[in-house]
Structure 1
Amino acid sequence: KFPSNVSCMKHQVARHYEDMLQCAIPAFEGLFPAEHDSVIRILLFCMAKWHALAKMCLHSDDTLILLDRSL
C-alpha cells in the first residue's frame, strides 16, 4: 500500500521510492517557473530510469551501458 503522507515516512522501501518517482512527475508539473519546470521533470524522469535499471536482477552488456550513461 502506498503511504498517504510520503513526507512523514521514516522507513522507505524500494517499491515506495519507485512509486514516489512515478507519481512525482505529473505532481510537480506546473509547480515551478517554466525555466525550472522542464529541468525538474527531466531530472525526475532520469531518476526513475536509473532506479528501474539499477533494480534489475540480471544485467546484459546493453543494460550496463544504459546504466553507465544514465549516471
Structure 2
Amino acid sequence: MARPSQLDPRERKLVLLLKRERMRKGISANKLAAQIGLARTTITHLESDDACPTFWVLLKIADGLGVNFPELVSEAFG
C-alpha cells in the first residue's frame, strides 16, 4: 500500500510536472543535477516524495529545464 504524500497536493503536483518535463526532454536526474548544481539525490528524493521542496529548489529545477515557473504554478494551482 502506498503511503500518503507528505506534501500539499498542489506542491506535489508541481514536483510531478517538473518530473514529467524532465522525462519528456530525456534528461536524467544525474544530468539535471550537475547542470543546476544540486545533488542527484535531491531531485530523486523530491520525485519519489521522500523530501519537501523549497521554493528555491523548485525554481532552480524549472530554470534548468527551461520551464516557465509562473505557468507551472498556474497549472498546478489552477
TM range (shorter): 0.3 to 0.5
- Point out the structure with max Rg over C-alpha: 1
Q: Larger relative CO (CA 8 A, sep 6+): 1 or 2?
A: 2
